[in-house]
Amino acid sequence: MRNSTHQQWTKATKFALVSVAALSATSSLATELRDSHLNILPRTNQERTRIDAVTAAPEDFNAPQRFEDLSAGAATVRVRNDADTFSQPSANISFEQELDFKVGNGLFKKIWVSSPSSTLASDGLGPLYNARSCQRCHIKDGRGHTPNGQDDSAVSMFLRVSIPGTPEDAPAEIKDYIATLPDPNYGGQMQDFALAGHPAEYRLDITYEEISVELSGGETASLRRPTYKAADLGYGPLHPDAMLSPRVAPQMIGLGLLESIPVEDLLTKADPDDEDGDGISGRPNIVWSKEFGEPMIGRFGYKAGMPTVMEQSSAAFAGDIGISSPLYPAPYGDCTEAQINCIEAPHGDNDVRGFEIDEVGMDLVAFYSRNLGVPARRNTEDPTVLRGKEVFHTSGCASCHTPAYVTHRMPDRPEHSFQLIWPYTDLLLHDMGEDLADNRPEARATGREWRTPPLWGIGLTQRVSGHTQFLHDGRARNLLEAILWHGGEAQTARDTLVSMSITDRDALIRFLESL
């Protein structure tokens, strides 16, 4: 049964995520992708007209748009009054699929142990790691947090690291790819935990500088500018050209639906040369897929560096927990050749699983991750929320945070098929200015570019995660601060927020809190 399900998913993925073979003009690329994957049921002209109408920008802000409260279409779940509101299965999965979801949830929560162990299905941790389970970072399937004082670990936050590569290190099939390599001593990310007998790689040290920002109406906001340091290095110095970038674990909801947005719809939003002159020049990230052995559009991660949920999940098992899988078979995770004791340590391969988590397990984890339900919108008819929605559109926020899409028709994935969804993202890369720059490229993303994050569920962050920290590194302590950090292509929208009336500013925040 699991092999059949995996084969169906593999087939559906090839159709829904469509590989990127040509990387030149966006319009011709979209046409080629649309025409070359015939097992997706093609949209009729009548359907296209309906889709264009239902996803068009609103003209009337006195009432909600149709179906706007159903953030994930038929997959939308009710809003719970507790921290488990992000942990529900999509509303439209079948009764039989609920078992797969629950078993996948068990694997997502599983606490891994070191090898050798009598619990053969759970050994293989580390030797270097950031957490012992997926749930330890994605707490309640929500956002992670920055360290809270000296006694709080950075278990849901870490530093990515890389050094510049050469053109020979880039995939020849991908145009404008910025090659990077792992740090020779520390690999692709810094692990702050280790098994007994192995030193941890580092301790994350963060200091903040408070910055005052004057707003209209006599109001003032305070931003905290972070400085990051990899302290107490356990394996010698970092490479002189090492590039460090902080990451807080993102929320998990709606991933399968984001995976199902047609590539042509994303490429239609791209304007890399800003030909329309609006100052917004979103670009798709194109990455090399380990899963399919070809270039694909990136959708996941803060810089859209991963093309599929399966690949994102497998990379997290390897880098965060040190667990091998079919896509990342090294049993020692992110350890480097300079960490020979780590490489030679006992591991959990070579038992009946073949890998520390095998294809069956990864299939279940990926199914769970794709089908975490998106809660319904709240207060869509509230006049203040409606005014905030109008401000959101007129101030330019919707230029990147595209409200709505209709997903592919996919016979093999009915739970994600032909759904009207409201994720508020274009999944494209945008230059966000120097203040947010991490100066670390990822595939085609420059050191100033970030993927537009989905906004659905953002108003429930406090309920799920117990905080309101936003952006890739959690520096923003609320939604207002998050907007004030926007620069680059979003500078005009940010400046509009600063100068607008207090009433409109409050309404905009109320609208975001309703998502």
| pLDDT tens for each residue of 232-287 | 999 999 999 999 999 999 999 999 999 999 999 999 999 998 888 889 999 999 99
Does 442 have pLDDT greater than 50? Answer: yes
Tally of domains in the chain: 1
What pLDDT sits at residue 42?
84
What pLDDT sits at residue 36?
36
What pLDDT sits at residue 151?
59
In this prediction, residues 53-70 reach a mean pLDDT of: 96
In this prediction, residues 434-446 reach a mean pLDDT of: 98
For residue 444, which amino acid is it? Answer: R
Does 494 have pLDDT greater than 90? Answer: yes
Q: Is 290 exposed, middle or buried (0-12, 13-18, 19+ CB in 10 A)?
A: middle
Q: Please state, in angstroms and as integers, the Cα–Cα distance from residue 118 to each residue in 155, 194, 451, following that order.
A: 26, 20, 43
Beta bridge partners of residue 181, listed in sequence order = 163
Task: List, as one string, the DSSP characters of 51-73.
Answer: HHHHHSPPS--SSPPTTTT-TTG
Domain carrying residue 439: 2-513
Q: Are strands 193-194 and 180-181 parallel, antiparallel or unpaired?
A: unpaired
Cβ burial 209-231 (10 Å sphere, 16+ → b, else e): eeeeeebeeeeebebbeeebebe
End-to-end distance of the chain based on CA atoms, in angstroms?
A: 37
What are the backbone angles phi and psi of residue 295, rounded to the nearest 5°? -70, 145
Token duo for residue 180? 């990077």
- Cα dihedral 65, 70, 74, 79, rounded to 10, equals -170
What are the pLDDT digits (tens) for 166-221? 999 999 999 999 999 999 999 999 999 999 999 999 999 999 999 999 999 999 99
What pLDDT sits at residue 149?
66
